[in-house]
A and B are shown apart, each in its own frame.
Chain A
Amino acid sequence: MARFLAVSNRKGGVGKSTIAVMLAHAAAAWSRQRVLVIDLDTQCNASLMLVGGLGWERAGRAGRTIADYFFDRFDKVAEDESAYVLKDVGDVAHARGAPGRLCLLPGSQRLEDLQGELLLRHSKKDLDADAIAVQVRGRMKRLIRHFGMDFDVVILDCPPGLSFAALAALDLADHVIVPFRPDFVSQFALDRVALLIERVETAEQLAGIAFSERRYSCLANYLSGTGHERLLIDQLALDHPLLAARIPRLESIARAFDWEETRQTMEQKYADAAPYLRALHDELLGVPQLRAASA
């Protein structure tokens, strides 16, 4: 069974999709894992990074997106979910015959509308709104879990908002990576997403959970090496588990996601960001849940 790794933060612009795609490439190329990216964000950035605009549009026309999957299979017994998955995506070359591969369940701008449709569909039944919401989330979670049979790692790229799909993903995830920019507003976002992930309501309750027991770790992203960043990271480290790996603000990362038809090695694609990505990859594969998956 795959391990489910969510990349989430309620704040936008912290690099969630970038980190999700970088990790997916790294797991497929460096540890030869079978990796699936599920794009739950209606911005669909992870999909665009992995198959380009045309590939994403084709997937939408063919009915092969996360919204189609939820809509088609919501009330049915899930079968042959692989029909929705685009295989061998991304622009990173793997060694010939290497088992590592990267697949994508593309995102859809219709996912938010679909959530409303599913709610309405179930509101006919004799249930209150909260119960319906729990039911829809629970079904989405089970539908996502079906992909666990065919992959070693499933990376869930979550949207910034709290859609049902995002909540289902957070509930399902074995571990959640929370990228953040070390600025004033980010600390509030981290505090809030931590409560959500750990299913507690107050900071005091959160403080009662040892770092080693938490389901999430925070990743400092877009670092430029200022004293302000150092200050804030030290403050955040009092309340949240932080990954030792950190990602600097690098032009090579921004450039890495210009869609390329030609395949490159990891080192070509990520250039001077490759060592930072390697550190992140190595550290995350050291997370017990993920290590178990790769054993």
Chain B
Amino acid sequence: MAQPEISFEPDDRYNAFLTVCNRAPHRTGSLAGTAVAVKDNISTKGIETTCASRILKGYVPPYDAHVVDLLKQSGAAIVGKTNMDEFGMGTTTENSAFGPTLNPADTGRVPGGSSGGSAAAVAAGMVRMALGTDTGGSIRCPAAFCGIVGLKPTYGRVSRFGLIAYANSLEQIGPMANNVSDVSLLMQVIAGHDRRDTTSYDRPYRHTPSADIRGLKIGIPQEYFGAGVDKKVAETVKRAIFRLEELGATSVPCSIPSMEYALAAYYVTCTSEASSNLARFDGVRYGPAADTKKSWHDAYREVRKTNFGTEVRRRIMLGTFALSSGYYGKYYAKAQVARENVKKDFARILADVDVIAGPTMPTTAFRLGEKSDPLSMYLADILTVPVNLAGIPAISVPCGRVEGMPVGLQIMGKHFGDERIIDVAYAYEQAVA
């Protein structure tokens, strides 16, 4: 008997999708028939997977990522692959080789990145749920900018098998939806051990969100409300935290001194790993053809120059430099020490409080084309990257608007404390509904 299908004919005026499956088959299960979009760096068997890069145009994986297996088993209907910054490198989805995605809240603005396509698809109501990936904020940033909910799980709770790697030690696949309950439902499907991912833990997620946060202690780090954060965004988030206190929580001021170098440690680590992960794209086994009449190095260099975008080439070179002979100690090795300090800072604070709260992003969504300088773009990640360095979970939930644009409240938790931060987000969402 043929599988039931849903029909999917979206009005994609935001360029959220790179590939659309007009007929999406599905099985039975907890998500039976639910339209789910998958970010285009997650391998889908038989469906083109490009990471929004020309160097993977036409690549059709012969296997499904583990999370895609799980989605199918749960009955979800995979309706398309969403746009992103090329290989996950960016904060606005403007680095896609196939055009930027627009923010449904204001089409003159970016949706955030790198999971901008997934966020826009959810925000515009094209799909109920979507999978994104978060290396330094790439789920939480677009969730904040588009006004939806996005969760970066504890590192290792969701299998990375099939996720086209950008920075292996930092990234996680995570759920995005318009409300916390749907994020929780999707997390239940995708979390759990995978023997094909040696870094995955045996920690399935089986949780119904609870709005009871009486007695909750919330750490408020001074670095999240400092000079680099827009005043109106900071006020909006403070009001949200005040709302949580009205529900029975208590705020406790705290400090994360390692924030001073967290961003540098993040960019050294992710560019180093990326420089190695992206070296395999040579046009031989997949991708645009290498010219076999040229010599190997000439052909290889040409494929990469033509088909990698500028930001990708910049990060590959930065990473190559950071790992190179003579510089490894100064950059990569130091970044790992810095990272350990960030972990210790969070562990210290979370020994005394249950969760940590602050803004997800220092501003609301930028205008398209506004951020052209790479370093100023990197600095926008300052509030999201510490979480990836520490491996702890974090969720962004909409908490108001500034000049019409959504603001995200970020809740960060202990290792394997995903259930708790979902509860806090849920409590807030229910209180303001």
Answer yes or no: are A and B bound together in one complex.
no
Give B residues with C-beta under 8 Å from A. Answer: none
